[in-house]
Amino acid sequence: MIMISMFMTILITILILLLNILPIINMHKITDREKTTPFECGFDPLSKYRVSFSIHFFLVGIMFLIFDIEITLILPIPLSFYLSNFYFWILTIIFIMVTLIMGTMIEWKEGSMNWK
């Protein structure tokens, strides 16, 4: 018990010393405006906080996410062939492929895939 309390006392002493020494060590660094901004890529957070963006770019990103999730569902299908019933396996493949093809056709007909 004495050993644990001695260890805790030494640990707390070291931590207090570090907390007091570190700010003194870091005082030499000059803080300028660019280093204190939250963005490191040239954006000025104090000018405009609401910049408009392209809705078309947003829709293409959403389409990419949807098709990416569908591809993630398609990839393990060959591995599950031996683990399930053949007819259930075929119905699952047909359902996923029809969903993927219908989604692509709807996006194409809507015109979301055109880069104008």
CA dist., res. 34 & res. 40, Å (int): 8
CA dist., res. 107 & res. 99, Å (int): 12
Higher pLDDT: 86 or 113? It is 86
Structure confidence at residue 36 as a pLDDT band (50, 70, 90): low
Task: Tell me which amino acid residue 84 is.
Answer: S
Count Cα neighbours of 36 within 13 Å in the Cβ-side half-sphere. 6
DSSP secondary structure, 35-46, as one string: HHSS-SSS--TT
CA dist., res. 13 & res. 5, Å (int): 12
pLDDT, tens digit (0-9, with 9 covering 90-100), for 41-96? 655 556 655 666 677 778 788 888 888 888 887 888 888 777 788 888 888 889 88
CA dist., res. 19 & res. 34, Å (int): 26
Does the pTM of the predicted model rise above 0.75? no
